């Protein structure tokens, strides 16, 4: 393949990739240095040999610094050109092999790191369910909240990466209770103000526990920290308001509240399903995300199916990154 100018060479390269380009430094329309820069930027796997006059050797050396693999000075012999071409192709091959090895090694390291993170998630999941099994009042709470949340998310037609974040954060949302006094957690009577504040430290505790593990799952981590926030700004621990609360959190808040209301607690009996649904309705736009409440009702048109029985526990996985556009397309907070 042959080109009469640097501009023509670029047009040909756009149509067909080549392993090697031999380019003169002096050409019409576009000189060899500009062509070299374009090739290095757009086709970095293509080797370049520059051809130069003896008086332009300094320019040729500068081209080597820009990414050319070799240069040939005029006048030249064909045998010399063949040798330089073979050397350049060998350098290119070795460079591609090293790059391929680097990418493979990087992928294996990422896969191993991901597996270590998932093993840690499995242990944390086991810890959550162990803590709940010790307490007859909260047994199965996290897995039910995850199930409710998933059904709300599906009813809202949320994309799978968002559903994955919701599933992870919902099942681990109460892990911070490991840092709360059991005497306070299991107190049969009404909590004092100090005891209530102590219990409400668990979202921040949970977020601190999970932060090193869930750096790549910020939405799930937000669920752990913010599931007691309210749209009116009167929640814990940060007093977030309206759309300051991520959509994933707003979904889980509805699920968590409904399961808490319909479960027996040491200080009160379970509310009826009808009463719990009424509480959700009355809290729309003030405490709860209106679309999430409506999605909950749509997901359970037959109240006789509520509350759900404890679903099967499934292994947790780190979600795929959620594109920012999905959050920008999220519905308004109320």
pLDDT (tens digit per residue) in 225-261: 999 999 999 999 999 999 999 999 999 999 999 999 9
Give the pLDDT confidence score for residue 329 in this predicted structure. 43
Percentage of residues in the chain having pLDDT higher than 90 = 41
pLDDT band at 119 (very low <50, low <70, confident <90, very high): low
pLDDT confidence of residue 80: 80
The domains located in the chain, with CATH, are 6-76 (3.40.50.2300), 115-328 (1.10.3210.10)
User: pLDDT grade, residue 113 (50/70/90)?
Assistant: low
Q: Specify the pTM.
A: 0.65
Taking the C-alpha atoms of residue 166 and residue 139, their distance in angstroms, rounded to an integer, is: 20
Taking residues 83-101, report their average pLDDT: 86
Q: Where do we find the tokens 């693999």?
A: 69
**Helix spans in the chain (H):** 6-15, 32-42, 57-66, 78-133, 141-155, 160-171, 182-185, 193-199, 202-210, 218-226, 247-261, 273-282, 290-299, 324-328
Q: Which residues are CB-neighbours of 146 under 8 A, at least 6 positions away?
A: 166, 167, 170, 171, 255, 311
Q: Which two tokens stand for residue 125?
A: 């999941």
Q: What percent of the chain has pLDDT over 70?
A: 91
Q: Give pLDDT, residue 122.
A: 77
The pLDDT value given to residue 260: 94
**Cα-based angle 331, 327, 319 (whole degrees, multiple of 5):** 125
Summarize the confidence of residues 73-79 as an average pLDDT. 80
- Residue 287 Ramachandran class (φ > 0 left, ψ -120 to 50 alpha, else beta): alpha
Instruction: Please determine, for residue 328, whether its predicted confidence score (pLDDT) is greater than 50.
Output: no
* Over residues 71-81, mean pLDDT: 81
In this prediction, residues 285-294 reach a mean pLDDT of: 97
> Residue 51's pLDDT is what?
86
> Between 221 and 130, whose confidence is greater?
221
pLDDT score, position 238: 96
State the average pLDDT over residues 300-320: 85
pLDDT in tens, 150-195: 999 999 999 999 999 999 999 999 999 988 888 888 888 888 899 9
What's the whole-number average pLDDT of the chain? 86
- Residue 59: what pLDDT? 77
The helix/strand/coil state of 48 is strand
Distance of CA 134 to the CA centre of its chain: 33
């Amino acid at each position: 393949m042959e080109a009469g100018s640097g501009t023509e060479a670029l047009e040909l390269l756009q149509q067909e990739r080549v392993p090697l380009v031999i380019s003169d430094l002096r050409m019409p329309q576009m000189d060899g240095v500009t062509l070299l820069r374009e090739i290095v930027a757009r086709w970095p796997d293509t080797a370049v040999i520059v051809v130069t006059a003896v008086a332009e050797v300094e320019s040729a050396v500068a081209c080597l610094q820009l990414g050319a693999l070799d240069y040939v000075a005029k006048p030249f012999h064909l045998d010399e050109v063949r040798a330089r071409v073979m050397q350049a192709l060998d350098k290119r091959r070795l460079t591609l092999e090293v790059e391929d090895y680097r990418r493979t090694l990087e992928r294996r390291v990422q896969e191993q790191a991901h597996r270590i993170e998932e093993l840690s998630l499995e242990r944390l999941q086991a810890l959550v369910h162990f803590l709940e099994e010790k307490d007859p009042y909260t047994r199965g709470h996290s897995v039910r909240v995850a199930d409710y949340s998933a059904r709300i998310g599906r009813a809202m037609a949320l994309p799978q990466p968002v559903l994955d974040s919701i599933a992870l954060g919902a099942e681990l949302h109460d892990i911070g209770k490991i840092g709360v006094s059991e005497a306070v957690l299991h107190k049969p009577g009404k909590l004092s103000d100090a005891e209530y504040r102590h219990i409400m430290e668990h979202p921040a505790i949970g977020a601190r526990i999970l932060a090193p593990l869930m750096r790549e799952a910020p939405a799930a981590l937000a669920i752990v920290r913010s599931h007691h926030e309210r749209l009116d700004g009167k929640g814990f621990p940060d007093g977030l308001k309206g759309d300051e609360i991520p959509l994933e959190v707003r979904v889980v808040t509805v699920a968590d509240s409904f399961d808490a209301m319909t479960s027996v607690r040491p200080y009160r009996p379970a509310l009826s399903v009808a009463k719990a649904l009424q509480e959700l309705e009355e809290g729309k736009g003030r405490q709860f995300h209106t679309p999430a409440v409506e999605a909950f009702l749509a997901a359970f048109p037959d109240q006789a199916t509520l509350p759900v029985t404890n679903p099967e526990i499934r292994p947790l996985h780190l979600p795929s990154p959620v594109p920012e556009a999905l959050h920008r397309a999220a519905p308004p907070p109320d």
